[in-house]
Amino acid sequence: MNLFQLRAFDAVAREGSFTRAAARLFISQPAVTGHVKALEEHYQVTLLRRTARRVELTEAGVRLAAVTRAMFGLADEAKAMLEANQQLLSGRLEVAADSPHRVMPILAQLRQAHPGVTVSLRLGNARETLAALLSEHVDVAVLTDTEPHKALYLQLLCQSRICALLPAGHTWAASAGDLPLSRLDQQAMVLREQGSTTRRTFDEACAAARLQPRVLLELGSREAVVEAVAAKLGIGIVSSTEAPHDPRVVVRPLSGAALVNQHWVGCLERRRGLRLIQGFMDVAQAQRAG
């Protein structure tokens, strides 16, 4: 069995692209293509479907990817362990986050402290971010309101409050202080999708207070919520750590029970001692302390 071929396949399976796989392995794209093609021809099996837009795993490819991910993950851990006493000068770190606003300051500090480290960032909602970490598609993650899990090591990053997002000309926009959650009962709302932690926290607080806002739009991104509010389609909800600097909208903190979220940085417990992961966790801890 040719390990170069397996490594090439593993990179394509992780990246979903021959181009990104080549960059990951520091070899040419034709070399990656050749290794994967040779592997498929030798074992007379189709592992990947190549379409105009992306590369997809076949059923056999999915099964093999589970094996190669574990195999090369252990090889990477062995290499990291042997290099643990060396200065953190280079390496590649896979990061997932449920908010660009919370992860970017950490990455900026990481870049300053360890300029040789390459970072790949995956953004998604809270559920997608946790799944990426548990499935070992990423090394570390920035997560919101994560339940304790025996496989995870979690480190508190910060707290945030749920805020109302109002059009600049709204009647409530000029008022000072917190806006009572009860004022949103029967109000027209534009909110994130159900998988969003901010949305879940808001819905649970409204249910506990027996409030029924009228959800007119469900949107897949924070940017879309800002645009909808600016267009006066309804009132939005945003985390205090993600408040936009946009003159078209006004952010007002909400007062009421259960409107606070906790944000964490996390990794798999068994991998927390690896130098790249520990470097990220140390930077995040220093930022919180600062």
**Digit-coded pLDDT (tens) for 189-245:** 999 888 788 888 999 999 999 999 999 999 988 899 999 999 999 999 998 988 888
Per-residue pLDDT, averaged over 33-42, amounts to 94
Provide the pLDDT confidence category of residue 89 given band limits of 50, 70 and 90: low
**Digit-coded pLDDT (tens) for 231-261:** 999 999 998 988 888 999 999 999 988 899 9
**Digit-coded pLDDT (tens) for 127-137:** 899 999 999 99
Question: Looking at residue 241, what DSSP letter applies?
Answer: G
Pairwise CA distance, residues 124 & 122, whole Å: 7
So what's the pLDDT on residue 220?
83
For residue 181, pLDDT over 80 is answered with yes
Question: What 3-state class would DSSP assign to 183?
Answer: helix
Mean confidence (pLDDT) of the chain: 90
So what's the pLDDT on residue 52?
72
Query: What is the set of domains in the chain, with CATH numbers?
Result: 1-82 (1.10.10.10), 88-290 (3.40.190.290)
CA distance to 128, 200, 210, 262, 278, per residue, from 98 (Å): 8, 14, 28, 12, 20
Pairwise CA distance, residues 9 & 243, whole Å: 41
**Digit-coded pLDDT (tens) for 97-112:** 988 889 999 999 999 9
pTM score: 0.63
**Residues 6+ away with beta carbon under 8 Å from 63:** none
Per-residue pLDDT, averaged over 149-174, amounts to 92
For residue 185, pLDDT over 70 is answered with yes
Q: Which of 153, 142, 163 is nearest to 287 (CA)?
A: 142
So what's the pLDDT on residue 79?
76
For residue 85, pLDDT over 50 is answered with no
**Residues 6+ away with beta carbon under 8 Å from 191:** 199, 202, 215, 217, 218, 219, 225, 236, 237
CB atoms inside a 10 Å sphere around CB 179: 20
For residues 2 and 41, is the Cβ–Cβ distance under 8 A? no
